[in-house]
Chain A
Amino acid sequence: MNVSEFLQANAGAAQLHGPQDRIVLSSRVRLARNVRGFAFPGWAKKPERVKALEAIRPAVEKLAPLAGAFSSAMDDLTALDKQILVERHLISREHAAKSTGSGVVLNRAQTLCVMINEEDHLRMQSLLPGLQVRDAWQAIDKIDGDLEKQLDYAFAPDLGYLTACPTNLGTGIRVSAMLHLPALVLAEQVNQIIQAVNKLGLAVRGLYGEGTEALGNVFQVSNQMTLGETEADIVERINKVLNQIIEHEDNARASLMEKKPKMVLNHIGRAYGILANAHSISSKEAMNLLSLMKLGVDLDLFPSAERSLVDELFVLTQPAHLQRQFTEKLGAEERDLLRADMVRDRLRQVARPVTKPAEGGKGPAENGGAK
């Protein structure tokens, strides 16, 4: 079974919704661990990496929460399989480039993913939709607790878990969340937020421009320091910050709709217009426009749209996800055409945006046009 077939066969097991998922797309906790007696994967020669994989993979597969998991050595995966895992944010690009001596194990619900011989012997992560960093930590803490009974972890009392890169030393934990912040971007407040979050020792990743714009208005917040603090402290701090960011984004949405409704409606209406009518669209443009449509859905401007439609399109318009539906290899231009066809088709059942939120009250004070 390849990755696509596994994902499709287990689509029902996947958790799609979580608390606050209008704004928090996903929460993730990753732990880095290494096994005593083996060199780190970046330094180990191939036979040693293979030996480490052979020692680690069965231990991971045995874990109860990974029953029925997809498990594969990286050299048994096609380039397309790897790319699909990258687009689903399940493995890193770096891991996708690995072959002999590396592996991946993914549970049926796609909430637990273990990379073997990435930069460290083990990079295990728990991934949940919406704001669930505490739950994600508990889930991965448990896996780690079970695994330490089978594997001899490299650990020093003073330095904690020993990792290939000293930036991960200690707890080896990285807690992160993907946030959709279109209103903070439109209101030009996102830079202030990023600076405030930086001051708390957390990093925000924004792409393009002076950090004001992120592709699809999606930002990632994550901790940077792993040594000198407990895991629980790190998780709680991020959780608190995420709640504050949600509040700011909610406020920005309300205030934009009150003070500049035309600006917001203009962006959303144009995004819909292009997505519903374009015959060629790049994945970058699609993401940016889908972000605005998602905002429209959140503001109840698309009463006829399924909530999950836009989220699905975010994933399905990515290059490898498009490619897997076709047997011949597609070029970038062909992909742009097929992407536009798919989006137009999916949006056929979605009527154009109303100019007042369906529930009324919060919308602009003018008489609405087409309904």
Chain B
Amino acid sequence: MLCNLCKENEATVHLTQIVGDKMQKVDLCEACSKEKGVSDPTGFSLADLLLGLGASQEIEKAAADGVELKCPACGFTQSDFKKSGRFGCPECYQTFSDGLEALLKTMHKGTKHAGKVPAALRVVREAKDKLKTLQKKLDKAIAEEDYEAAAQLRDELKHAKEKGGQVSTS
């Protein structure tokens, strides 16, 4: 079996991963595996290797008909992404957001962050979440014609908005 990357040497390192119900397999020779950081002590990333093997197309497809996108903050372009499988700066996620979701689907469990949030942002998010829950409850109360509860919820919502407003305008 030949190495997927250089297509020259015999593959001795075999990597597999299953995302959803799709099995992904990469076979590499020793030299390529070293170069690609397969021996990185913190663990290798198969999706990262697949990026080099064509998965980055999602980003290109997204703007195939237009001019090449370029990040206004750092000057990074789509072809740069194709070359390295890396973005140029945090703003690039905004710049290249069009093809991003399709790309993320090929490598992650979901496309929305579910983990840790920096404490400063957590306050804002909690206030927003509270507003959402109250609004839902209010809609339900109205739908069920429970006007007493609806009136109370409307007060609560108004109160939360005033309080939350102060936090989120920062």
Contacts and interface: CB of A to CB of B under 8 A. Distances in A.
B110 A207 contact: no
B147 interface: no
B113 interface: yes
B41 interface: yes
Nearest to A121: B90
Contact of B100 (A145, A166, A176, A223): A166
A30 B42 contact: yes
Interface string A173-187: 110100000000000
B7 interface: no
A30 B44 CA distance: 12
A98 to B, nearest CB: 13
B45 to A, nearest CB: 5
B61 interface: no
B90 A203 contact: no
Interface in A145-202: 145, 148-149, 153-162, 164-171, 173-174, 176, 194-195, 198-199, 201
B117 interface: yes
Contacts of B74: 39, 43
Nearest to A213: B12
Interface in B129-167: none
A251 B56 CA distance: 43
A40 interface: yes
B51 A167 contact: yes
Given A40-B88, A125-B42, A166-B100, A228 B109 contact: yes
B118 A155 contact: yes
Contact of A89 (B41, B45, B114): B41
A205 B15 contact: yes
Contacts of A157: 113, 117, 121, 125
A61 interface: no
B15 A227 contact: no
B87 A224 contact: no
Task: Give the bracket for the number of chain B residues in contact with chain A.
Answer: 35 or more
Contacts of A156: 93, 113
Contacts of A30: 42-43
A227 B88 contact: no
A225 B115 contact: no
B86 A148 contact: no
B16 A159 contact: no
A42 B37 contact: no
A209 interface: yes
Interface string A88-112: 0111111000000000000000000
B14 A210 contact: yes
Contacts of A144: 116
Interface in B82-114: 84-90, 93, 100, 103-104, 107-114
A230 B74 CA distance: 30
A93 B107 CA distance: 24
A208 interface: yes
Contact of B87 (A40, A148, A199): A40
Interface in A193-242: 194-195, 198-199, 201, 203, 205-211, 220, 222-231
Interface of A: 28, 30, 34, 36, 38-40, 42-43, 86, 89-94, 119, 123, 125, 141, 144-145, 148-149, 153-162, 164-171, 173-174, 176, 194-195, 198-199, 201, 203, 205-211, 220, 222-231
17 contacts: A39-B89, A42-B84, A91-B41, A94-B40, A157-B125, A158-B112, A160-B116, A165-B48, A165-B85, A165-B86, A167-B48, A167-B107, A170-B108, A171-B113, A201-B17, A223-B43, A227-B108
